[in-house]
Chain A
Amino acid sequence: MTLSYSKLQRKMLMTVLAWIVAFLIFFPVFWMILTSFKSETEAISRVPHLFFSATLDGYRAVQEQANYLHFAWNSLVVSLGSTVLALVFAIPSAYSMAFSPTRRTRGTLLWMLSTKMMPPVGALVSVYLIFRDAGLLDTKTGLLIVDALANLPIIVWMLYTYFKEVPREVLEAARMDGAGPLREIYNLLLPLSMPGIVSTSLLAVILAWNEAFWSLTLTTSKAAPLAAFIASFSSPEGLFYAKLSAASTMAIAPILLLGWASQKQLVRGLTFGAVK
């Protein structure tokens, strides 16, 4: 009885803790959405108000000033395109490293990950010059390539982890039946690790959607994604918090809905192989 009571207590404590953590994580998003319905004066008020008379002025101003659908379309094309492109390279890479490792595989994986540790601004001028000479500035293709390359290390790492969970014997059996590497990947590896691939893809889409540095630097108007849309509503002179919040809410809404709709898949994929 005492044991079950303490178990119950621990469960309650964990539940409360989980709610607190969830609240802390979600609070900035919640406050941003709330601010988007405030007037500019209310938004900058020194005493923050939870209850206020809501207005759509922020959204109206954003709609008048910029073409949301143009930016959203660019974000959609770039994030989906970069994910597909990255998967095309990451799947064979992760396959070879998971099933035909060499003594340099681990080092290669760590080196790939280490490229994420470099501040992107360090490569800014060289990337900009390459893009200029290749005619890729302000193109969706250019941004898509950069996003794919930026996310490639994480995607390879995740896929490598998932592929390692697939029993080697299954692939060996297929090989004995005469399957080549492409057939192994297509007919066995992909179906067996589909939850992992889907969650990796979702994560890659989210990362590409939220990417700001290259999006802001390499595009001007034609290929500018939602990161540029948000950046146009901040101002050094004049009030802008409500408009900026409205623009940010509009920018994150699609990805927030995607994350919400696919959270089951996402969690399943991320915890794939975590407990044996």
Chain B
Amino acid sequence: MSAVLCGALCHAQTTLTIATVNNGDMIVMQRLSKQFEQQHPDIHLDWVVLEENILRQKTTTDAATHGGQYDVVTIGPLEAPIWGRRGWLLPLQTRLSQSYDLNDVLKPIRDGASDSGNLYAVPFYAESSLTYYRKDLFAAAGLTMPAQPTYDDIARFAKALNNPAKDIYGVCLRGKPGWGENMAFITTMANTFGGRWFDAAWKPQFNSPQWRHAVQFYVDLLHKYGPPGSSSSGFNENLTLFENGRCGMWIDATVAASALSNANQSKVANTVGFAPAPVAVTPHGAQWLWFWALAVPASSKHADAAVKFVEWATSKQYIQLVAQADGWASVPPGTRHSTYEQPLYLASASFATLTYQSIMAADPLHPTREPVPYTGVQLVVIPAFPTIGNQVGQLLAAALVGNITVDQALEQAQYATERVEKRMEVGH
């Protein structure tokens, strides 16, 4: 009788519902997860792959209402500490096994995914920002990219490289409005120009000379040396422009490096050079820090199985698995020290060391020169940030198009942020 019961129950499957974004690394994870199912025949994986904003809305609703629809969610540095603080996520540091080697995970990312000493998510991949440039155009113009470029260098190089007659533009930058689009880049610019989003008393700082200087510099740079239609260009559009040889330089996410170096899709794969993100008056917050991490909602009905999956997908062994299946150049970057100790990875990805240095240099706990009451480099880790960031992004895109002046945009940004702040009780 017990054997019959065991036959029915011992093979009962736990189904984990995993919510994730439609990025290349996640698609690889979905494909390779069959190996996890083979290793854990009692666990079946159900995938929900969605566009980033829809995913954010769905998982936020579910986590906030303890709906229990998802066992594993893919979240970023904006959600991990806030959701963790609110008790929507399970703390992971005590649930991960010894062999997971948490100290191998890069510290800036652990900091970004933690709140009050509790780790609420473990990174699947992470990125910072770099300066991409065309070595052939630099050589032809007699220019040399310094080991650490400044924004004045970028302006000088952009002027020399700009050649609209040949459809080559000095510099490509994000202009598409959105807290994760133009504001990601502009915030790093404002940081390195000495600015910050809020002072210690949570007063918005858009009316500061640092913000004015940074935004004017950005608008002038794109007006003089940027491609037409920059205000509608995000990551994907600029990636295509650079791959097709239309940009002399591009400052954007480190994750673009592998695509630009891939001769199958990039026409400039052999001539692309890499340098750190530029600085202005301070190195603080000059390069951003973003990650996609896996977390287990507190409402998950299969928390133990979910932690097993999270551990598998973010482990050293998973990175080895991707390397065996698709080659070292395809492994999820930016998460573990051990990845950057692999000679094969360093040999296959010439940008690897620079990516590692950029991530390690980013400090989400101290992102600006002046002290701030918030964490996050190119974002402010508060629930109101998407609302504020999108509004400010729209205003700065309007300044880029020329519908309003930079001064008007910043004045309106100050007013809009104060209003949202009041409504959403930021800082209380």
Residues in A lying within 8 Å of B, measured CB to CB? 41, 44, 46, 65-66, 124-125, 128-129, 132, 137-138, 216-217, 220-222, 224, 228, 231-240
Contacts and interface: CB of A to CB of B under 8 A. Distances in A.
Contacts of B240: 41, 44, 239
B390 interface: no
A129 B57 contact: no
A180 to B, nearest CB: 45
B161 to A, nearest CB: 19
B46 interface: yes
Q: Give the residue among B24, B49, B180 with the most A Cβ atoms within 10 A.
A: B49
Nearest to A235: B22
Interface stretch (B65-73, B196-204, B327-335, B364-372): B65-73
B61 A217 contact: yes
Contact of B236 (A66, A128, A224, A237): A237
Interface of B: 17, 19, 21-24, 27, 46-52, 54, 57-58, 61-62, 64-70, 180, 229, 234-237, 239-241, 243-244, 253, 255, 259, 265
A238 B50 contact: no
Chain B interface mostly helix, strand, loop or mixed?
Answer: mixed
Q: Give the residue among A44, A138, A231, A233 with the most B Cβ atoms within 10 A.
A: A231
B253 A228 contact: no
Contacts of B229: 46
A27 to B, nearest CB: 19
Nearest to B46: A221
A220 B69 contact: yes
Q: Which 3 A-B pairs have the closest CB atoms?
A: A234-B51, A232-B49, A235-B22
B23 A228 contact: no
A231 B51 contact: yes
B61 A232 contact: no
13 contacts: A66-B49, A124-B61, A137-B67, A137-B69, A217-B58, A220-B48, A220-B69, A221-B17, A232-B50, A235-B51, A236-B235, A238-B259, A240-B22
Chain A interface mostly helix, strand, loop or mixed?
Answer: loop
A220 B58 CA distance: 9
Contacts of B22: 232-235, 240
Contacts of B243: 41
Contacts of B58: 216-217, 220
A138 B17 CA distance: 11
Given A220-B48, A232-B50, A125 B65 contact: yes
B43 to A, nearest CB: 15
Contacts, number: 92
A220 B49 CA distance: 9
Contact of A237 (B24, B65, B67): B24
A45 to B, nearest CB: 8
A231 B17 CA distance: 17
B48 A44 contact: no
Nearest to B62: A128
Nearest to A126: B65
B335 to A, nearest CB: 16
Given A234-B22, A235-B23, A128 B49 contact: no
A220 B61 contact: no
Contacts of B244: 41
B236 A132 contact: no
Nearest to A222: B46
A128 B241 CA distance: 43
Contacts of A231: 50-51, 54
Contacts of A221: 17, 46-48
Contacts of B27: 65
Nearest to B241: A46
A132 B46 contact: no
Given A125-B61, A138-B69, A234-B52, 13 more contacts: A41-B240, A41-B243, A44-B237, A128-B67, A129-B65, A216-B54, A221-B48, A224-B48, A232-B48, A233-B51, A234-B22, A236-B52, A237-B255
A44 B239 CA distance: 11
Nearest to A227: B54
Contacts of A234: 22, 51-52
B162 to A, nearest CB: 17
Contacts of A137: 67, 69
A220 B68 CA distance: 11
Contacts of A46: 229, 241
A57 to B, nearest CB: 13
Contacts of B68: 132
B46 to A, nearest CB: 5
Nearest to A241: B236
A201 to B, nearest CB: 29
Contact of A235 (B19, B21, B65, B66): B21
A220 B70 contact: yes
B247 to A, nearest CB: 13
Nearest to B229: A46
A237 B235 contact: yes
A47 B21 CA distance: 29
Given A41-B240, A221-B17, A236 B180 contact: yes
A224 B244 CA distance: 38
A132 B259 CA distance: 42
